[in-house]
Structure 1
Amino acid sequence: MPTITLTSFLSNFTLGFADGLTVPFALTAGLSSLGNTRTVIYAGMAEICAGSISMGIGGYLAARPSSTSATSSSTSAEVEDGEKEQMSSSDGLLPPCHRCQEANEVEETKDSPIVAGLAVSFGYLLGGILPLFPYFFVGMENVHVGLAWSFGVCVVALFLFGFGKDFILTRNDKGVGGEDVGKRRVRRAVWEGVEMALLGSVAAVAAVLCVKAFEGLV
């Protein structure tokens, strides 16, 4: 029976959110060289719509159980039933069931494919809107100002999201000995936020450098 957990939801959401920040930013960075804010907005919105749908479908298909898993589960169930019959017909001494553990592992619950797909899709949609948002507030010819603000928004959003995600997931951390759990959670969350911001910045800077490298060739 598919289940929904906060950890799995945030994991799928993070996948879509990270791609939603970097891919549309790379697109808007490239289109910024054309010098027209309207072109950046139109193309960016089209990419976000298509990308969120595509990522959502990918998340749904990835979470959906495969035919191989179904076959393995059925086979394990048959083996377990056979062993139970043998045990019931024995002299009362129950032999060790080596396959029971395997059957239980196969029967572990999976994430809901629909929820997984929606989490990835929503993450991509939200992440994609953020780098595009500043372009709505700059003039038609101030596209480079929009690009600068877009970069800043991406870095801040990545940090805040990384911090919040780690802080939420470690809310049940009990700590060790007399350790201050609150401070340790904050330190870990800050590092997670910095790490996400740095990785996202690398992708954003790479996009801008690619645009600059090919700007004079076309």
Structure 2
Amino acid sequence: MACENPKDCCGGSCLQNKLPKRSQDVVERVENEPVWMTSHGNDASDDNDDPNKCDKHARGVCCRELKGEDERDLWIDPDTVSDLVIGLSDGLAVPPALVAGLAGLGDSKLVILGGLSEVLAGSISMGLGGFLSSEAEMNHFKYLRRVTRQRVARSCAGEMEREVHDVLGAVGVSQELSNGVAAQLSQLEPPAPPQPPSFLRSLAIKFGRKPTPLPTTNLRWSDEHGLTAFLLKYGENVEEVPTSKLIKSALTVGMGYALGGMWPLLPFFFIEEAHEAFRVSILVTGLVLFMFGVLKQHFTGGTGGVGGYLYGGVSMVAVGGLAAGSAYGLVKAFDTRE
């Protein structure tokens, strides 16, 4: 919304209707104070020199402290949230389905043994899947970086300027400024890696005498700078996967699966009759599914408010209930006992 009064603006947006109550009190106090007591007096230059202080619009309210109604702090790393959602989702859907199927046989010990075996095997399998997935992503990035760097090294005049402008021009940067950015990035571009040797040549190098490596004293080049890094990050939308993510992803997915899979088994440890324990397990699993859906909706940046959180919880209960109900019905359909 355009501002009729420039004093209401901060970064081109009108803040007249967005100030919190506490900020409005500060605004009224600042307007009633003399000029020499406000931040626009002799202390303005000191505020501008301090990097820890944020910019303030004409009413004296810090722009950085203004937040929207549904703005929240997503303090968990998005990759961790994604791995945790994958593990917990499967853990709260697959083991309950198995428990539901085994509960139809009427033996709590069989449910516990089968459930624990499935949770253990599923946790290991999911953890290995997270590790291999991150490893494949890391290898894919290394391949793209090597190919892109070789393409940049053999590109003809003007080609890199056009590719840089394809990225920056989409957000409104002029051709002249894009050419300047391309020239600056080309000066920081590391040299292209040599072509990989053939299979026989690689064996000869591996088992032959290794040459003495040359000392690397030039620290100017970096994989994070230059045209290749720019084209990968902003053109291909891929980033380097750190090695630590492999172990982190494996542990997060595996532990998430184990944590989700243990909830439906808990009632069977305390209730001997399987059918009664299964009824309690349904309530426990449904409650955990609902709470997990609400937390997932919050920490993944989904629609907030009562409606958004209710949708996240109900959708998780529906998915888990469908899986568990299908397994229970299948076992009952093939159960031929009298």
The two structures have a TM-score, normalised by structure 2, of 0.52
SS state at 2:105 partner? coil
1:131 aligns with 2:260: no
Map 1:198-217 onto structure 2 (within 5 A).
198-216=318-336
* Kept in 1: contact 2:81–2:300 (CA 8 A): no
What amino acid is the match of 2:148?
A: S
Q: 1:165 to 1:122 in 2, by over 3 A?
A: same
Is contact 1:22-1:200 (8 Å) kept?
Answer: yes
Match of 2:246 among 113, 118, 131: 113
Aligned sequence identity (%): 32
Q: 1:73 corresponds to which residue?
A: 145
Counterparts of 2:232 and 2:295, CA distance in 1: 37
Per-residue deviation, 1:192: 0.9
> Partners of 1:24 and 1:73 in 2: how far apart?
41
Cα shift at 1:209: 0.8
Which residue, out of 304, 307, 313, partners 1:193? 313
Gaps of 5+ in 2: 1-75, 165-226
Give the whole-Å Cα distance in 2 for the aligned partners of 1:94 and 1:82.
Answer: 10
Deviation at 1:205, TM superposition (A): 1.1
Question: Aligned to 1:145, which of 271, 276, 293?
Answer: 276
Larger Rg: 2
Per the alignment, residue 295 of structure 2 pairs with: 164
Q: CA deviation at 1:97?
A: 4.4
Amino acid at match of 1:113: L
Report the counterpart of residue 61 of structure 2 in structure 1.
Answer: none
Task: Provide the rounded CA distance (Å) in 1 between the counterparts of 2:82 and 2:299.
Answer: 12
Aligned in 2, Cα 1:189/1:13: closer, same or farther, shift over 3 Å?
same
Question: Separation in 2 of the partners of 1:39 and 1:129?
Answer: 15
Equivalent-residue separation in structure 2 for 1:138 and 1:55 (angstroms): 29
User: Are 1:6 and 2:77 matched, yes or no?
Assistant: yes
Q: 1:59-85 CA distances to partner (integer Å, 9 max, x unpaired)?
A: 1101113644422211112333455xx
Contact 1:26 1:208 in 2 (8 A): yes
Structure 1: state its 5+ residue gaps: 88-92, 174-183
Q: Residue 94 of structure 2 is aligned with which of 10, 13, 23?
A: 23
1:122 alignment partner, one of 255, 263, 270: 255
Aligned residues of 1:73 and 1:106 also touching (Cα < 8 A): no
Root-mean-square deviation (Å):
2.7
Which shows bigger deviation, 105-114 or 32-41? 105-114
Residue in 2 that maps onto 1:178? none
State the 1:107 CA deviation. Answer: 5.2
Cα distance in 2 between the residues matched to 1:75 and 1:10:
31
Conservation of the 8 A alpha-carbon contact between 1:167 and 1:186: no
Shift of the 201–208 alpha-carbon distance from structure 1 to 2, 3 Å rule, reads: same
Q: Distance in 2 between matches of 1:60 and 1:162?
A: 25
TM-score normalised by length of structure 1: 0.77
The structural deviation recorded for 1:154 is: 1.6
The aligned counterpart of 2:232 is 103
Q: How many residues align?
A: 194
Per the TM alignment, residue 109 of structure 1 is displaced from its structure 2 partner at its CA by 3.3
Moved runs in structure 1, 4+ residues, more than 6 A? none
Map Cα deviations across residues 156-213 of structure 1 (whole Å, 9 max, x no partner): 1111001012123339x9xxxxxxxxxx434212211111111111111111111111
